[in-house]
Amino acid sequence: MEYIKPICEVDIPLFFKIFYYGLVMPIAFVGNTITLLVVAHILWYRPSVPDTLVGGLVLNDFLTCLIVFTPSIIAELRGEWFGQGFCCYHAIVNVW
């Protein structure tokens, strides 16, 4: 299947791409990694329901950074998307 381009293509300014991919995503990845390690350490010594819920949210955010953002960076660097199948996968994972 061939990728179908949208009727109206939106071009994002370079500043926003640099800000998003260069600052926001690495900070989110490092912050979630540190938070996940701290929550795991706390749960090892004192298991509690609120800490487990926070750990679940951190794990969800961490996996979102890994599964959703990484293909976006690769596609942005390549200048093209991976195909229609991967586009549908990315849309489902991104919304879910």
The residue among 20 and 30 whose pLDDT is bigger is 30
Q: How far apart are CA 85 and CA 1, in angstroms?
A: 8
Domain spans in the chain, listed from the N-terminal domain onward: 14-95
Query: Taking residues 71-94, what's their average pLDDT?
Result: 77
Whether residue 22 has pLDDT greater than 70: yes
pLDDT computed for residue 34 by the predictor: 92
Query: Taking residues 30-50, what's their average pLDDT?
Result: 90
Query: What Rg do the C-alpha atoms of the chain give, in angstroms?
Result: 17
Whether residue 25 has pLDDT greater than 70: yes
Task: Name the band, by pLDDT with cuts 50, 70 and 90, for residue 6.
Answer: low
Q: How far apart are CA 18 and CA 24, in angstroms?
A: 9
Q: pTM of the predicted model, to two decimals?
A: 0.64
Whether residue 53 has pLDDT greater than 70: yes
pLDDT computed for residue 76 by the predictor: 76
Q: How far apart are CA 23 and CA 20, in angstroms?
A: 6
